[in-house]
Amino acid sequence: MPKTKFQSVVFTAIMAFLCFPAALCLQVFFVGPLVRKIFRTIFAA
């Protein structure tokens, strides 16, 4: 039983480590242009 629980914990940890950078990249990809537009409007004004 502990072995399977340990495997599940390791699996969830690996999935978290794999999904976190992907979510971060998606966030940067979608939020980046908006932040650039905001900075452009601020520096233009």
In the structure encoding, which two tokens stand for residue 44, read together? 């233009």
What does the pLDDT look like over 1-45, one tens digit per residue? 557 899 999 999 999 998 888 888 888 888 888 888 999 998 986
Q: What number of H helices and E strands is found in the chain?
A: 1, 0
- Which pLDDT belongs to residue 19? 86
- Which pLDDT belongs to residue 12? 92
Range(s) of the domain holding residue 21: 1-45
Structural domains in the chain (count): 1
Please compute, for residue 5, the number of CA atoms within 13 A of its CA located in the half-sphere on the CB side.
2
Please compute, for residue 35, the number of CA atoms within 13 A of its CA located in the half-sphere on the CB side.
6
- Which pLDDT belongs to residue 2? 59
- Which pLDDT belongs to residue 8? 92
pTM here is 0.45
- Which pLDDT belongs to residue 24? 86
